Structures are given as C-alpha cells and as structure tokens.
Structure 1
C-alpha cells in the first residue's frame, strides 16, 4: 500500500509556489515594487531636466583635473648616523675646540665644529711646508754650502745656501749631514793651489740668500730659542745652531752666522782669521758640500718636528718661486706651491712661517683635513708627505701617544701634531674600525692649555676610529 498524502501532486517550488499559496500578499508586494520603480524613473528624469536647464553648462571637455607635481628623481634613502663623539669633544680639558671629520672617499663632512673658520693650526703647518718644498724644490734637490775665492788673495767667502744641517761632527743629530770639516779641507786645498804662500786673513760670511732682518718673528716666544726648539732663520748656520749638535732639543744662540764662521775657521785651522759679513763677488768655487735630498730633510722634519729645517725650506720655496725669501712673502709662496700641488683652496690660507709656531698662521680645519684626505688618496707631493707622517703609537713624535683609552686607534692613525703654550692640534687620517678612511683636523686653543689636551685629542680620534662611517654630527 501507498500513503494517500504522498500521492497528491505538489505545487511548484520558489516564487511561483509562494504566489500560489498567498495570492493576496503577492499582489500587494508586486504593486509596491512597481510603484518604487516608477518613482525612481521619475526622480532620475527630474535630475536630467534640472541639469539641462542649469545656468552653468559644463561639458566634459571643460573639466580640468589638477595634477600633483612629481620630483624628477626619486630621492634614495638616507641612513641616519648614530655614533656620537660629542662627550669626547666637550671635555673641560679643551679651552675651546674647532675641528672636522670627513670621509676620504666621498669628501662628505661627517662632523663639524667651525670647520671653515680659519684658526692657528700650530705645527700642522710643517706638513704644508713639506708639500710645498717637494713640489717646488724637488725631492732629489740638495742644498749647497760653498766657499768661493774672495775679491783678493787672503780673503775667502763662506756662502750659506740655506742648509741648517751642515754639521761639525759625524755624531750630528741630523742623519748623514754634510760635514764642515770636509768643506774646509776642500777649500784650503784649492786655495793653496790658487794662492800659494798667501795666508788667509779674512773670511766673509755670506748669508744674503734671504734677509736676516726677519730672522726672528716677533710672534715667536723667546723661550722657544733658549729652550732649544727654534733657531734664528739664517741662510748660513751649522747644527741648526744647537749648543749640543748631537741632540734634538738644545739651546740655540743669537748669531748663527758668526757661529758658522767660527766653526769653519776651526775646521780649516785658521785661529787668527777675522770675520766680516757680506756677499760673494767672485764665482771661483774652492769647496762645496751638499745636504741630504729634500725628501730626507722633509721626512726628518715631519717625524721630529724640527723647526730649523721647516723655516729654511719655507724660505727656499719663496726664493725658488721668484720671491725674496723674506717672511712677508711666505703666504704667497705657500699658496702658489700648494695650488700647484693640487690643493684647490690654497688661496684661503695665511702662512707667516714654515714651522707653525706663529699664531698669525691661519688655516681652517677643513683645509687641513682636505690636505690629509688628498694625501691618503693620491700621489704627488701631498701623497709623498702623507706617506712620511708619524703613525700614532708607532713612530716619530706620535710614538708615545694613543695609549690608555685611545689605545684602540694605535697604529691606525697617520697624522701631524702641533703644540705651543696656547694650543694642541692634530690633523691626519684614521683607518676606522669599520674600514672607512676618515680625514680629521682638531685644534684646541686657549690660554694655559695643558698637555692633558693632547691626551684628550687622542681620545677624540679614538672615538672617531670606533664610530667609522656611523659618526654622527651630534
């Protein structure tokens, strides 16, 4: 049997089923939908009519869409440098501090404290003197000291050529220096050949290569001479005018020219001879000795801070460039020589001596750092100077530096130091811990500055070493 309910036909499903079962509700719903559609048509028709009758008739061609300006080149990301050396730069040990750190490769300034303001760089000037001498005089040039025949028999002339290293002993502080005994031997032999039987009664001392009127800069403290660091600047002298020719620091005299004449007379065996000052008038050479090459003199000057060599080389640069050799010509001479060596901003510096002892020297830290950067990355005279610089903790006058807190930078800094009773300075290049080469120049200047400032500068450079390219300007 089958269920009678299941045998009845079923209404269609979906909407038709709903209408079949609820005819009244369906009729009302359909009417409402139709009304809503008709109302919508009326509204849109109204809008269309209203737009057509509007006072402003805008067509698609008249619509302007403002475009935002776009940069020609999308800037790349800039890294934020976060390593600060400010605590090391603001210690009380520094009465004041100006300086700069630059990236040798890019030239970018990473750290700046009045970097473009000209200040006294102290003995950093000797690095500029070295480059000027190599560029102008030539690395292989040797400086002559001569004896020439006088205007009459019995008179000879000792002619200074600007060599302060002429020595009275083989144990001279100056390495392989020319010997005045050799000069005397040559001169006496030749003189006796020319004037047999005529004794020498007078020696003319010729120091006229440059004027002796400015042999001592009034800005140099007298204690530098009496203390043994600095001699008068004359074209004729022996031993850098040291009282003890075998050591670096030894009191200097007040008349280097006369001292040289006396040393020659003693070497020549002429105890009763008289001296006069003048210029040679003849050209018959009786004897001649020459210094070590300029390159050797420069290296010794840079490593030991020898002021006598520095001053002589600066005057010789002036003479070579057509100036008089007077101190007043040194700024022009040094500007010209350094420009020839490739320093584009050489015209910005003021140089009044070759050693840097005078506070009248004015060189910005930025120029000093650019000089060092060029030396580290190039060749020529500046590159040669850079290769001769003392290395912190290893050589020259930096041998005993970069100790204690600064020891991490030992062996990684090539630099030239400077110091006076009012200043400590250092400029060079540090090979940073991250492999970046950074050029720097720091000058600390102020009355009563102590040697602690030197240690503080070493610590600052060591901080730069640790920061490397992450060095912040804050």
Structure 2
C-alpha cells in the first residue's frame, strides 16, 4: 500500500518505513536506495520526486497494487475526532480542522474548517504549491559571475539560492568553490589574475529583515548567501547567522579565488550590467528537490527564497508583500478556496499569516491529483512520522511511518497538516490548527493523537 501511496527519497526514509511496517505487520513500502544520513537530515544530493502520474495512477482503487480505496462519502469521523479536537483542553481557545478523501477531495470531517487561523510552518505547503506551479519542478536557481568589459570588474551575481554552499563537501548542492574555480579559469584564459570584485543582490527587492527581526530561525533574506548564512556546521534548524550574508559570501568567494591564483579586491555591492559577459555559473538541485528539503526540514530560508522566486516568475516585486501576493494569486488560479487567507511571508514565521484547514487540505488534494504531477514533491517532502525531518522524534506508536505531515509551531500556535494511511488502505488528507495554546507539549500531543487515530481507528 505504501508503495502505491509513495514516496521515497535519498535519505532512505521509505526503507525505514518498510522495516517499521514489516515489524508491525502493516502494509509496507519499497526500498529505492539507502542513504547514509540520520533521520531528518539530507544525505547526498536530494533527488526529484517520482511522477505522480505513475505513483498515484491507482488511487481510484481499480488498478493499484494493494487497492487503495476511496473513503465512503457518508463516513462520519465526528465520533472519533471531536473528543480529540473539539473537546481537548490542550488545544487552546481557537481550533479548526478538516479531513478530506484525497481520491475525490471530498471533505469527511470539519471543525470550523473555513476559519482562517495562524498556520505557522504549514504555510510552507502553500509556498511549495505556488512555487512549483509558477516555476515547474525542473527549475534551478543559478548563481553566476560576470565580467564588465569596460571596467574589468567581476560581479558575483546572486541567484536567490540559499542552498549555495562554501563547504568542501557540497553534497550535490551548488558550490561556491566550484564557481570560484571556474571563474578563475575563465579569467586566466583572458590573462587576468587581479580583479575588482563586487556582488549583486538586486534579484530581490525591499527589506531583507523579516518582521520577527534577528532570529536564529532565519537569515536576512537576500539573493546571495552561502550555507544560509550559518556560522556553525549545521544544515538545518536554528543556528546563529552572519549579520550580512551577501557580503560574507562575497568575502568567502574572494578567498577562494585567491586559492586559484586570482587576487580580488575587498568586495562591495554593485549591479551587473546587461553588457557584462558571464564567466561561470553553478545551479541548485531541481526545484522538486528544493521543495522536498524545505518541507522535510522546515527550512525557513528556502521557503522565503521560493516565495520570492514565485514573485519574480509572476512579475511581482520580489519582496515580502510581492511574494505574498504572488502566492495568493497562484492559489486563486488553481481554483483553491483562498477565502480569508493572508500570506505575509513564505515560511510561516509571520504571526499575521492566515490559512484555513479547508485551504490546507485542498492544497494536499491538489498535490495528490494525478493530473498535476508537478506538485508531487509537496507530498514526497512531508516529514514521515517517527523517521524524518520535524517528525523524527514523534509518533513512537503504531502510526510511525503511516502519517506524513508538515508541522507548525510558534508561541501559542500548534498546527499539523498532511496525509495518513488508514487501516483499510484509504489515503486521507488532514489539517489541524490550534491557536492561543498555552501548553505546547499538550497541544502537540493532542494533534499527534488525532492523526494517530486516523491511522489506526478510522471505521
């Protein structure tokens, strides 16, 4: 059953799910290669998700191995979920929920499901859908160097790729070291061994500082950075950030040029002209892989970058307001129930963001639609209960491997949205939002309990 529901990724998370499922005597998955990384981390180059057309072709229950069944239209989940969601004291003063059949998109359960609440990081599901529809799953983010023929200035042009890395082991990401080597080689062919270096961040507009201010969950949002401006060796999660990621990346680039025999001046901000000749380029993994990484690790820097790229692709200003407007516009074009939704960032760190459970489950249903294979990474990127990403430390019971969901946590906000496989082989989408919570652990436990109930007790 898990084979049909997909997905698998380069961390080997389907291997873990298969092993766990066998141990529980539940339907299992397929091993498509083992990774060496620990749960919740990326090992090697992330790969694009398989086509939804192939993986989800049998969701009507007629041609799929294991026979995934559509949920009965008259199924009432209220008796199961109301005590866990409507009556649970740990979920604070405002709560809303929805459960849908991902085969048909029909809502099976609703608790104020059209009420927009603060979604926290479940916002990233909307960002993912908007970016994939605006740019396509094969799109790559390119960082380049350009030579100004008139002045001899070399410009490091930011392409809005926060995964650009200066580490020796690039792990399949775009490498600043590779860019420096290729740039130095191109300069030497021109007989140039000393340059004036500058950097260009003009792909983005507006303020770089998120409304939350200086925060270890997010660097300044700029079109040029290396390793998300982290000052430690971490690749995900909170970490101290450099004050100016673009300037820091340019200084690092200057040092790398020197290692290749090219001396560069202290870099300063500039803008590459249309007359500049491109010297070298490096590109990110495909957008499909970036979306998976963003969702699995709840990567705020990547989320803000993808929201801005959505704005660039749709002709809107690449700032916080323009990115929010671009995401909203893309969802409206898909005919989704945007209603009172508000997007003030791409990551969900902004407490003024608003999304309803109806919209979140509609996004999941859209991603499960075989007619939209470009949205498949939205599902493949969801953390796997007990195994990967932000769910690696949760679900130690029988729901491990059967729930895939994006988490959301801010002070007073706890949310969860994703997919669940029921005991009889149905694939459901759910969204649980709780605002004004006072006990984060109790709220998280209540949401996990509701998802576990769907996985283990759905009639």
TM-score by length of 2: 0.76
1:39-438 matches, within 5 Å, as 83-89=79-85, 90-96=87-93, 97-150=95-148, 152-171=150-169, 175-194=171-190, 196=191, 199-200=194-195, 202-211=196-205, 213-218=206-211, 220=212, 222=214, 225=215, 227=216, 229-249=217-237, 250-269=239-258, 273-281=265-273, 282-340=275-333, 342-346=334-338, 348-378=340-370, 379-403=372-396, 407-438=397-428
Distance in 1 (CA, whole Å) between partners of 2:187 and 2:104 is 62
Aligned residue number for residue 462 of structure 1: 452
Give the conservation status (yes or no) of the 8 Å contact 1:153–1:198.
no
Gap change, CA 1:107 and 1:272, over 3 Å in 2: closer
Distance in 1 (CA, whole Å) between partners of 2:446 and 2:279 is 55
Distance in 1 (CA, whole Å) between partners of 2:363 and 2:295 is 15
Gap change, CA 1:328 and 1:463, over 3 Å in 2: same
Give the conservation status (yes or no) of the 8 Å contact 2:149–2:276.
no
Q: How big is the shift at 1:396? A: 2.7
Gap change, CA 1:344 and 1:187, over 3 Å in 2: same
CA RMSD between the two structures:
2.4
Q: Is residue 439 from structure 1 mapped to residue 436 from structure 2 by the alignment? A: no
Q: How big is the shift at 1:156? A: 1.0
Distance in 2 (CA, whole Å) between partners of 1:391 and 1:161 is 31
Q: Give unpaired runs (5+ residues) of structure 2.
A: 1-72
What secondary structure is seen at the aligned counterpart in 1 of 2:449? helix
Q: How big is the shift at 1:467? A: 4.2
Distance in 1 (CA, whole Å) between partners of 2:145 and 2:294 is 27
Q: How big is the shift at 1:214? A: 1.9
Give the conservation status (yes or no) of the 8 Å contact 1:145–1:161.
yes
Q: How big is the shift at 1:139? A: 1.3
Deviations 1:57-83 (A, max 9, x none): xxxxxxxxxxxxxxxxxxxx9787673
Gap change, CA 1:448 and 1:277, over 3 Å in 2: farther
Distance in 2 (CA, whole Å) between partners of 1:129 and 1:163 is 16
Q: How big is the shift at 1:425? A: 0.7
Give the conservation status (yes or no) of the 8 Å contact 1:371–1:382.
no
Aligned residue number for residue 440 of structure 2: 450
Distance in 2 (CA, whole Å) between partners of 1:80 and 1:313 is 38
What secondary structure is seen at the aligned counterpart in 1 of 2:419? strand
Gap change, CA 1:343 and 1:427, over 3 Å in 2: farther
Deviations 1:288-317 (A, max 9, x none): 111111111111111111111111111011
Distance in 1 (CA, whole Å) between partners of 2:161 and 2:134 is 16
Distance in 1 (CA, whole Å) between partners of 2:223 and 2:82 is 47
Gap change, CA 1:108 and 1:447, over 3 Å in 2: closer
Distance in 1 (CA, whole Å) between partners of 2:76 and 2:255 is 70
Distance in 2 (CA, whole Å) between partners of 1:352 and 1:142 is 24
Give the conservation status (yes or no) of the 8 Å contact 2:414–2:437.
no
Structure having the higher helix fraction is 1
Q: How many pairs align?
A: 379
**Larger Rg, first or second structure (1 or 2):** 1
Q: How big is the shift at 1:437? A: 3.0
Deviations 1:440-473 (A, max 9, x none): 11112226442332222101212233442x5xxx
Distance in 2 (CA, whole Å) between partners of 1:345 and 1:293 is 28
Distance in 1 (CA, whole Å) between partners of 2:224 and 2:336 is 35
Give the conservation status (yes or no) of the 8 Å contact 2:135–2:313.
yes
Q: How big is the shift at 1:232? A: 1.0
Distance in 2 (CA, whole Å) between partners of 1:104 and 1:151 is 56
What secondary structure is seen at the aligned counterpart in 2 of 1:440? strand
